Amino acid sequence: MRLRSMIVIAAAATAVLATTAAALPGSPADRPQPLPALTTSALAARYAADSGMIVRAARAAGRAGDTDLARALDGMRGHHFLDFSADGPGQAVEVIGNLARATRVAILVPGSGTSLATFDSRGTASPQGAAVALAAQARRLDPGAPLAVIAWLGYPTPATISPAVLTSGDAGQGASALRPLVDDLARHGHQVALLCHSYGSVVCGLAAPRLPVTDIAVIGSPGMDASSVRALHATARVWAGRGASDWIRDVPRVRLLGLGFGPDPMAPGFGARIFACGSGGHSGYFQAGGIALRNLAYIALGDPARVAR
């Protein structure tokens, strides 16, 4: 028992030190670019500028011998990025759809193990692939709906196997970066929904208090660093879904010495609106044809009555 306690304490100390270092001033996630004017011309200028940055970053990665990153960045060329940085762990904020004409915006917040190198390399398990799949599903359900989707890698995600993934340090940094984007979109008159996967649901939980969003949906969540929906102090509808084969269901729901994220958002006492996600696993929520993707699209569209429970 004493040895187990010492291991837990050591892990917590390591995680706290790591996440404190990651949150020092100057980290890319501390400096998100403010939104440009949401006009066709202003957005086109931003997209062109960030595309140029991506080209230069791809060349630099190639010269450094980082072939995986160079290949990933090459695949981003010509896409519509509101924000991009190759400094440190990097950040990428890609828009799918016409943000100048949209009245609703869905922001996809990814979980651990996500980086520039994996931003679009794992199909619908990647932020870019998930955003494309969500936008396509929304068009099938409601052709012509004024919806834009944002794949948001705006924070340094912790490694999937690391002490930091057990704490909310990186999530706090992500929440601090996410709030300005949501606030800017709301000031421009957009209705915003957050779709938060895995560790990303901790980010959304920390960002939630009085955030101007209509919906927060968590999928494959280890917890939201809150005891209940009421404790989130959110004005939004809060949703939770989990696939029947998702291993996250077996993660212990504890909070000890800074480790863990509190109760399961799927638990009846938490107070979230539970929605169906079918039989899929932890990386399968945005797969085409699945009930999870369909429900997430209805949440993104702001149509809660059609979400299958």
Identity of the residue numbered 134:
L
- Average pLDDT estimate for 203-222: 97
Position 208 in a domain: yes
Please, which pLDDT band fits residue 286 given cuts at 50, 70 and 90? Answer: very high
pLDDT of 20: 38
Domain region containing 283: 2-19+80-306
What is the average per-residue pLDDT within 288-293? 97
Average pLDDT, the chain: 89
pLDDT in tens, 23-34: 333 344 446 788
pLDDT (mean) for 38-58: 96
Residue 41 in domain: no
Domain count of the chain? 1
CA-closest candidate to residue 276, choices 291, 260, 296: 291
Amino acid at position 292, single letter: A
For the domain that residue 153 is a member of, what is the CATH number?
A: 3.40.50.1820
Whether 231 maps to a domain, the answer reads yes
Strand order in the sheet with 237-241: 81-85, 91-96, 147-153, 104-109, 191-197, 215-219, 237-241, 273-274
Task: Note the pTM of the prediction, 2 decimals.
Answer: 0.89
Res. 162 pLDDT band, cuts 50 70 90 = confident
Confidence class for position 81, pLDDT limits 50, 70, 90: very high
**How far, in Å, CA of 189 to CA of 108, rounded?**
19
Please check whether residue 54 is in contact with residue 81, taking contact to mean a CB–CB distance below 8 angstroms: yes
